[in-house]
Amino acid sequence: MSFVGKVWKVLVGIKDGLVLLFMLLFFIGLFGILSARPNPGQVRDGALLIELSGVVVEEKSPIDPFSALLSGTVPIEEYQARDIIRALDAAASDNRIKAVVFDLTTFLGGGQVHLREIGDAMDRVRKAKKPVLTYAVGYADDHMLLAAHASEVWLDPQGLAIISGPGGSNLYYAGLLDKLSVNAHIYRAGEFKSAVEPYSRSTMSDEARQNIGGLYGALWEEWQANVKKARPKLALARVTSDPVGWINSAGGDLAKAAIAGGLVDKLGDRVQFGARVAEIAGTDSWDKKPGAFASSDLKAFLASAGKDRSGKAIGIITIAGEIVDGEAGPGTAGGKRIADALDEALDDDLAGLVVRVDSPGGSVTASEEIRRAIQRYRDRKIPVAVSFANIAASGGYWVSMPGERIFAQPETVTGSIGVFAVVPTFENAADRIGVNADGFRTTPLSGQPDFIGGFSPEFEAIMQASISGTYTDFLDLVSKGRKQPVEKIDAIAGGRVWDGGTARQLGLVDEFGSLEDAIAWVAGKAEAKDGKWHAVYLGESVESYDSLIRQLLTSSAGPAPVSNGGDIFALAGRNNGDVLNRVARDAARLMGTRGIQAYCIECPATAPIVAKAPRLEASDGILVWLTSLAAF
């Protein structure tokens, strides 16, 4: 090889090395940006501005930056209820904060318990002689649950405010399955376990209607009591009993009707609202745009507030979302992930443990894995309390049984003590297209489960026996955990769902109280002096690049259509999209590879169903494929 060729190779090697070096520096810099924490120094005199551009949740779901960027879809923003409450309580005593402002223009909602507790924190801010103002283009039920606690409620003149109350339609697929010649094999324990009804019926059963009617009635009563107490001038009966007459009396102007009904206090656009806030909190010395006012955002203020780390440590494990097997989460309760977090903290010298549950349940095996991990704390004589948020049903109740004391709220949905499984077979569909299954069996279980030839009677009997046995185990766990006879638990089980007030009367929970009440109870059991303890969230990992990912996606794909504002037609369009997402979700639940489920499908949703295109596998089957074509 010539001398020139050798020199060239060296130069190419140097070039490649420099490229790799610059790429490494680029990704180190990018990681630094993504890992940046909010700067407490950004907090200044003025208003605390809380822009709720998404949903309020118990536990935030992490964003996979690469998946999000590749999909080009802006993830829906999530706000942990405890963060908002902590910020409000800190704002009440912070001399820099002159007022609190909620921008609810793109707020999507949250669970009734979370929103009521945030409303209580808003009341504490007002008690500290600091005004709380809200602004939105549209107010619905969840918006009003917050806005009722505000000093001033502002609505855009082109907006609307409507209260609809809980309830609505479920989707039933028995007719569709019949047309597709799909046999849905239903296994359940509990006559009120209506989770399987969408696949076996075309209408709601009388038992389910009776149970869900009582639940929704209780939740509606609690909603009305809370809102009327916070906002006495709201003409709730008129707005809800005769909405057409109420709107017509305002000449069809929805914004003026909102004023007349007492839902809002003032009409004004964002500039007028900002000018009003500036009168209270001061003008912005940097931003001179119309409607600007001096403010600090939620993340910076939380960073400034800090966290107390004094005294004894009390562990908090969060079980939020559907309970599934494996490592899933946060935001989804992966059984192995949560059990590992509990076991890793078992030797951390915790004074006590609080189990925070906001889950409709899910996998029985994952629920039992979590329950056993919690029980290991009890076995070591560590005090354990359970705190229910919006929903603690089915598997969410199963995992709670090691608790010495269970705290709930009147709006909590709990119970649903029952189990089920749904498995489809396709013998009729195969016969329609000329496919037949035949062969030789040495035993009644040979070749089972056979999804084309059908299940044998013996296999069907074993499947049902498994469900019945699991239900018996569930009753035994509740009987021991609640210290009540199995017969009494069976009488209130059967898949029934209960509101928190009824559950307390039945002995399914011990007392009303918040997460803070549960922590204080554990601190008392651990003989920690007043205020001489702090909470440690087990397994918590905070990803701080969410805002950057959203900025990148918003700039390239435009903002996500998440607003609950706009006119009545925009609202109808969004609800239509939710229906299509529900169809895809229900189809995936039927066709997915799931085991025995302790899951409460009938429980009210605490957040909107997020539009996600399903990831289809060959095993998902023809029904998911057909449904996905219709939905997406």
Residue pLDDT, tens place only, 427-463:
888 888 888 888 888 888 888 888 888 888 888 899 8
From 98, 130, 193, 295, active-site residue: 193
Q: Which amino acid is residue 11, in one-letter code?
A: L
Active site residue 532: no
66-92: pLDDT as tens digits: 666 666 566 788 999 999 999 999 999
Alpha helix positions (H), 106-173: 112-127, 141-147
Confidence (pLDDT) at 436: 86
Confidence (pLDDT) at 303: 87
H/E stretch holding 344 reads: helix 335-344
- Give me the mean pLDDT over the 350-377 stretch: 95
| Angle CA 452–453–459, to nearest 5 | 110
With a pLDDT cut of 90, the percent of the chain lying above it is 51
From 61, 394, 416, 514, active-site residue: 394
615-630: pLDDT as tens digits: 333 334 433 333 333 3
Given its phi and psi angles, is residue 607 left (phi above 0), alpha (psi -120 to 50 degrees) or beta? beta
Confidence (pLDDT) at 621: 40
Confidence (pLDDT) at 198: 86
CA distance 155 to 266: 6
Active site residue 193: yes
- Give me the mean pLDDT over the 515-527 stretch: 93
Confidence (pLDDT) at 163: 93
- Give me the mean pLDDT over the 32-52 stretch: 71
**Model confidence at 10: pLDDT above 70:** no
CA distance 95 to 97: 5
Q: Average per-residue pLDDT in the chain? A: 83
**Model confidence at 317: pLDDT above 50:** yes
Confidence (pLDDT) at 261: 95
207-236: pLDDT as tens digits: 888 888 999 999 999 999 999 999 999 999
Helix (H, G, I), strand (E, B) or coil at 283: coil
**Model confidence at 180: pLDDT above 70:** yes
**410-422 CB burial, b ≥16 within 10 A, e <16:** bbbbbbbbbbbbb
- Give me the mean pLDDT over the 586-605 stretch: 69
CA distance 145 to 223: 7
- Give me the mean pLDDT over the 368-375 stretch: 97
Alpha helix positions (H), 483-620: 486-492, 500-506, 515-525, 546-557, 568-591
Q: What is the phi/psi pair of residue 218, to 5°? A: -65, -40
User: Of the given ranges (65-74, 356-365, 475-484, 563-572), which has the lowest mean pLDDT?
Assistant: 563-572
552-580: pLDDT as tens digits: 554 444 444 444 445 555 555 555 446 66
Q: How many CB atoms lie within 10 A of CB 500?
A: 25
**Model confidence at 191: pLDDT above 80:** no
**Model confidence at 632: pLDDT above 50:** no
**Model confidence at 371: pLDDT above 80:** yes
